[in-house]
Every structure is written in structure tokens, then in C-alpha cells.
Structure 1
Amino acid sequence: MANYVKYSQLVNIASNYGKRMKYLSNRIFCEVARPTDSKSMKVVKMFAKQPLNLNKNIVEYYPRHVETHKLMMKLRSYGLFRDEHQDFKEEMRRIRALRGKVKGRKPRTNENAAT
């Protein structure tokens, strides 16, 4: 353990040996070998990230339509969510009923429907 501490202190020294060892260490561990400015580091970080087409969270994203719809209908019944399209459809149904033009299933007239 003491040897590692000595090595880390040697690398941080601004001597020629320290610079070369730091460069070699960075090359081995896939870090930026030479000192670079912040603009270049931004590019390095951008290329180091995983591509979006390989990111499972983005590629296989599928919103939960059924659960969201049920939640919104429950909130609508409580009066916490306003669905204008559903309100419009209900109003049209109500007006049709007032005019006597209700759409619906006609009752069956044969005997099998009663049993």
C-alpha cells in the first residue's frame, strides 16, 4: 500500500518522469492523454456517452396508454380533469336524446331473447 502512495505522489510531481507516467496512465485507462481545453472536453464527453439508438430506455419506450386513460377518466369523474372532447360527445348525445333520435340497440322481438 505504501508503494502505491509513493507512485501517486510521483505522478503528481511536475517532473518529466511524472508527466510521462501521467500520460501513460491516461492512455491505459482510456482517459484524455494530453491536457485539453473545456471545448474539446465537451466533445470527448459527447463521444464517450452511449449512442441513443443503443439506449434501451429510449428505443423501447412505450407509454402506458391504458393506465393513463383510466387515471384520467377517474380524475374526470372526481371533477379534477376536464376532457373537452368527452364533454362535447356527452352534450351531443344529450341533445340527440332531447330530439328523440337516440342511437342504441333495438330490442329483440323473438322468444329466444326473453329466456
Structure 2
Amino acid sequence: MATNFVKYSQLINNSTKYAQRMKRLSNRIFSEVAIPTNPKSMKVVSMFSARPLHTNEEIIHYYPRHVETATLMLKLREYGLFRDEHQDFKEEMKRLRALRGKVKVWKRKLNMEEKETQK
């Protein structure tokens, strides 16, 4: 039985018309490219034969956990272990506006304060 396989593999490597046709048939059966193509076309073939991106775990879970990271950074900032320069800048601008008397008052906050004073 092994000798038949050896003969078949030797036959495939021959450059006869029959060997070429058998090689193409074999490639079609095993889902390979039947006719030899250029490297650019082989790139397309490899893209389509690759695993779809929406099933790849590395791509699905690429982004970190933003909400948990943000709350962690907020806690670290409160403890003084992390310096958020953007938040510091916003607080400084709010403080300077308050010094100039330009504090924004939201209607919702006014309504809540009025309700609290009525009670």
C-alpha cells in the first residue's frame, strides 16, 4: 500500500499533462489554490482562508475596561497618588471663574435649592 502512495507522489511531481491535472484536482479537493498564481493573488486567498476577525478573541477584547480604569484613576487622584493634569486645569478654571464672580448656575440646581429652603 505504501508503494502505491510513493508512486502517486512521484507521478504528481512529474510535469506531464496528466500529472498537472491530477495536481489541480488534488488542490481543489483539499481547498488549495488550483492554478499557481502570483503573490498578490495569494495574499487575497490567505485573507479569505484566515479566521474571521469577529471570532478572534484578541480583537474582540482589545480595548481595556475604560469605566473601571477611570474610577480607579479618580480614587488614586483623591489619595494623591495620581496627577490628572486635565482635571486640575478644569478645577483651576472653575476656581478662577468663581473669583471673578462668573459662576455658572444651572436651573436644575436653583430649583433644588429652592425646594430645600421651602422645607
Give how far 1:65 is off.
Answer: 2.0
Query: What CA distance in whole angstroms lies between the structure 2 residues aligned with 1:14 and 1:23?
Result: 12
Which residue identity is paired with 1:78? L
Which residue identity is paired with 1:82? D
Query: What CA distance in whole angstroms lies between the structure 1 residues aligned with 2:76 and 2:8?
Result: 64
Mean Cα displacement is larger for which, 42-51 or 19-28? Answer: 42-51
The answer on 1:13 being equivalent to 2:14 is: yes
SS at match of 1:78: coil
Q: Could you tell me the percent identity over the aligned residues? A: 60
- TM normalised by structure 1 equals 0.55
Give how far 1:19 is off.
Answer: 1.5
1:59-88 deviations in Å (ceiling 9; x for gaps): 787752222213433665424x5341x112
Give how far 1:24 is off.
Answer: 0.8
Find the counterpart in structure 1 of residue 81 from structure 2: 78
| Gapped regions of structure 1 (runs ≥ 5) | 109-115
Distance 1:63 1:94, change over 3 A: same
Which residue identity is paired with 2:65? R
Distance 1:16 1:75, change over 3 A: farther
Which residue identity is paired with 1:43? V
- Decide which structure has greater helix share: 2
Aligned residues: 101
Which residue identity is paired with 2:46? K
Distance 1:44 1:94, change over 3 A: same
| Gapped regions of structure 2 (runs ≥ 5) | 104-112
Which residue identity is paired with 2:49? A
Give how far 1:30 is off.
Answer: 1.4
Give how far 1:23 is off.
Answer: 0.8
Mean Cα displacement is larger for which, 21-30 or 9-18? Answer: 9-18
Structure 1 vs Structure 2 CA RMSD: 4.1
- TM normalised by structure 2 equals 0.53
